[in-house]
């Protein structure tokens, strides 16, 4: 498994990362442990979680994913073999993340509470990569990289990027976290973090976790140059468009146990133009003799701004297929055909 440098640190992570947001909802603890065993055996040393997980977010299950990972660390003794990433929620109306019932925000007391709880859940005394799951400020659209702009009013009592970075710097000094990342962030927000770290002599962000797929390449329009020049590499999520790019939902199919069947939360990918694009990419993969999932993952891995592609699977055979993409190199001709489809369909699912 190829290893890639995390930001400007001396840490190297696998080009594929094990996503864990299904652990504790769609996957049992035993299934989660089996996935971690398999991923580590295949050379994946990078796991990603969040205090929010599992998905969909619920008070009853919050933190269960981290606890499943923590139980695996305790059982296997493999903590030192894994670069562990997790996240703190940004501003949210959800009120079950804090003991006092406050709605979420990136204030000092909330971040410190979240870190301490994640450390306890994960059965560890340090987190390798601590990420802000989404901004404290109001943004035009979730993911902060919309295809069209909508004006938003500033949030009352907004916590500044500088103050957030100062809080995280203190946690680095305390040894609770090692490196800092952001997620669902814009080019403006990313550069504000970089500039603040340089101006105030604070720890530098090392990564950005945003959506990226064949039907959502908006990262390339502004953030790709930031990622390359500032060494804030992408950790891509939803590379399979929440399963649509596998072809399993084609023609209205609803596989048993799938996320859409269980939760019906995939509306981003259900516009007519999006479904046309998905079908075109799936057909192209089959014409090239490739598994559609592996083509989508291999394309993401080939991007120069990519640090690691996050995989999410509920069944072991899915994970095996996804990890198999590491052995695939897309030909220049196939990459040109992918770009031609992108020229035709654009970003129908940002």
Measuring CA to CA, which residue among 36, 176, 45 is closest to residue 117?
176
Rounded Cα distance between 275 and 280, Å, is: 9
Q: Kindly give the interhelix angle for 187-200 and 161-173, rounded to the nearest 10 degrees.
A: 60
Measuring CA to CA, which residue among 68, 64, 62, 65 is closest to residue 33?
68
The contacts of residue 194 (CB under 8 Å, 6+ apart) are 204, 205, 226, 230, 232
Q: Kindly give the interhelix angle for 316-324 and 292-301, rounded to the nearest 10 degrees.
A: 50
What does DSSP say about strands 3-5 and 12-14: parallel, antiparallel, or unpaired?
antiparallel
Beta bridge partners of 213: 216
- On whether the CB atoms of residues 21 and 183 are closer than 8 A, the answer is no
Segment holding 12, helix H or strand E: strand 12-14
Rounded Cα distance between 207 and 130, Å, is: 10
- On whether the CB atoms of residues 95 and 102 are closer than 8 A, the answer is yes
**Residue 244 is a catalytic residue:** no
Measuring CA to CA, which residue among 175, 63, 163 is closest to residue 114?
63
The one catalytic residue in 38, 53, 126, 244 is 53
SS3 243: helix
**Locus of tokens 């997620």:** 183
The contacts of residue 239 (CB under 8 Å, 6+ apart) are 212, 213, 245, 296, 297, 300, 309, 310, 311
The residues annotated as belonging to the active site are 53
């Amino acid at each position: 498994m190829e290893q890639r440098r995390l930001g400007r640190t001396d840490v190297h992570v696998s080009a594929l990362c094990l996503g864990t947001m299904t652990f504790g909802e769609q996957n049992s603890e035993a299934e989660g442990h089996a996935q971690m065993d398999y991923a580590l055996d295949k050379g994946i040393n990078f796991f990603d979680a969040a205090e929010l997980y599992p998905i969909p977010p619920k008070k009853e299950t919050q933190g269960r994913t981290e606890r499943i990972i923590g139980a695996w660390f305790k059982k296997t003794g493999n903590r030192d073999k894994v670069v562990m990433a997790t996240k703190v929620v940004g501003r949210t109306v959800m009120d079950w993340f804090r003991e006092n019932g406050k709605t979420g925000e990136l204030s000092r007391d909330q971040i410190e509470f979240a870190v301490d709880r994640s450390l306890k859940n994960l059965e560890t005394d340090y987190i390798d990569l601590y990420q802000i799951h989404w901004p404290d400020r109001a943004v035009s659209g979730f993911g902060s990289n919309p295809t069209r702009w909508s004006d938003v009013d500033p949030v009352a009592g907004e916590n500044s990027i500088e103050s957030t970075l100062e809080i995280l710097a203190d946690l680095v000094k305390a040894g609770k976290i090692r490196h800092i990342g952001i997620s669902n962030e814009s080019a403006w927000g990313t550069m504000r973090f970089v500039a603040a770290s340089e101006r105030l002599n604070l720890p530098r962000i090392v990564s950005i976790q945003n959506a990226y797929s064949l039907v959502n390449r908006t990262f390339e329009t502004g953030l790709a140059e930031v990622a390359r020049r500032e060494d804030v590499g992408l950790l891509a999520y939803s590379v399979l468009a929440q399963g649509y790019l596998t072809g399993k939902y084609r023609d209205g199919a609803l596989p048993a146990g799938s996320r859409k069947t269980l939760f019906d939360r995939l509306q981003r990918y259900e516009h007519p133009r999006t479904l046309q694009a998905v079908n075109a990419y799936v057909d192209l993969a089959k014409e090239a003799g490739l598994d559609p999932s592996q083509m989508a993952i291999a394309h993401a891995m080939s991007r120069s701004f990519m640090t690691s592609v996050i995989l999410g699977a509920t069944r072991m055979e899915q994970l095996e297929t996804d990890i198999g993409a590491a052995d695939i190199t897309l030909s220049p001709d196939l990459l040109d055909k992918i770009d031609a489809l992108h020229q035709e369909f654009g970003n129908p699912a940002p």
